[in-house]
Structure 1
Amino acid sequence: MHDATEATTTPKSDDELKELVSLARLVAYARENARDLNAEFSAYCLDLAFGALIQDLDRSGVSLSHESGQDSSLFGTRH
């Protein structure tokens, strides 16, 4: 596992940024499924994970606003 200070100072490659976005999509999808299933604690934990991923992306220069509700439009919708 990476040191927290290393993770904030090491620039990410395009491939790493794509992987972070993919991971954020996966977590957003799982979070919505948990909400639909009324799995409140799981949805809460996934929401925390999603917020952490958004922070990682913001620190890497990818600006996605979680608060504005853009996560569903940027990360796609469930089918």
Structure 2
Amino acid sequence: MHDVAEATIPPKSDEELKELVSLARLVAYARENAKDLNAEFSAYCLDLALGALLQDLDRSGVSISHESVQDGHLLGTRH
């Protein structure tokens, strides 16, 4: 049933995808800063938020590697 709900989600426009990538960059930056400040719970929550954004992007056809996130670079390409 979960797959059916995902299948009915309309495709995102290029502008919406750019906004999601920008949001993911912001969250990745905040997560790295939280780690540097030893704010472990904040870093954990931001990591969850980043994971959710990456899932949204993946469902929309944008591929971002976890290595690029850890390096602080979010580069997306359409499938």
TM-score calculated relative to the size of structure 1: 0.79
Partner of residue 30, structure 2: 30
Give me the CA root mean square deviation. Answer: 1.8
Which 5+ residue runs of structure 2 have no aligned equivalent?
none
Identity %: 80
Partner of residue 51, structure 2: 51
Alpha-carbon distance in 1 for matches of 2:20, 2:68: 16
Which aligned segments of 4 or more residues in structure 1 are displaced greater than 3 angstroms? 5-8
Partner of residue 73, structure 1: 73
Alpha-carbon distance in 1 for matches of 2:16, 2:29: 20
Alpha-carbon distance in 1 for matches of 2:44, 2:65: 18
Aligned residues: 69
Distance 1:50 1:61, change over 3 A: same
Distance 1:50 1:10, change over 3 A: same
